[in-house]
Amino acid sequence: MMEHDKQNEPLWNLGFDGAINKEGSGPGVWVSNSETRHSKGHSYKLNFQCTNSTAEYEALILGLQLLNKLGAKRILIHGHSKLIIKYIKGEYSAKNPRLWAYRNVFFGFS
């Protein structure tokens, strides 16, 4: 049986952002695919206190879960939280143990 060639799969884009304010916290994600013309934004409200970094991680994870449900195989991730991107790439290590758990969740999507 031939292994499926991921290069033939459509490329999905995932944009993510998390924010906290006096009203609460929430992640937002935008997924798009120009080949299938799928483009949609999603926003969520978190029901726990968190930092901006936690909201960013939640956004990334929710976006990856959404793309997993859509069957995405190739994903290009866009986020303006350089801190989160560097954590994921292994260029930074988190000092907060709660953030270690988020990084470990991310590797479950690999």
Q: Enter the tokens of residue 28.
A: 């937002």
Q: What is the pTM of this model?
A: 0.76
In a domain, 7, yes or no: no
Q: Enter the tokens of residue 76.
A: 């290009």
Q: Span 26-36, mean pLDDT?
A: 86
Q: Span 54-79, mean pLDDT?
A: 89
- Domain extent, residue 77, equals 50-110
Q: For all residues of the chain together, what is the average pLDDT?
A: 79
In a domain, 12, yes or no: no
List, in sequence order, every beta strand (DSSP E) within the chain.
11-21, 24-33, 38-43, 74-79
In total, how many domains does the chain have?
1
Q: Span 24-39, mean pLDDT?
A: 85
State what percent of residues in the chain have pLDDT above 90. Answer: 15
In a domain, 101, yes or no: yes
pLDDT at 1: 36
- CA 109, CA 65: separation in Å to the nearest integer? 8
Q: Span 10-27, mean pLDDT?
A: 85
In a domain, 11, yes or no: no
In a domain, 83, yes or no: yes
Helix (H, G, I), strand (E, B) or coil at 67: helix
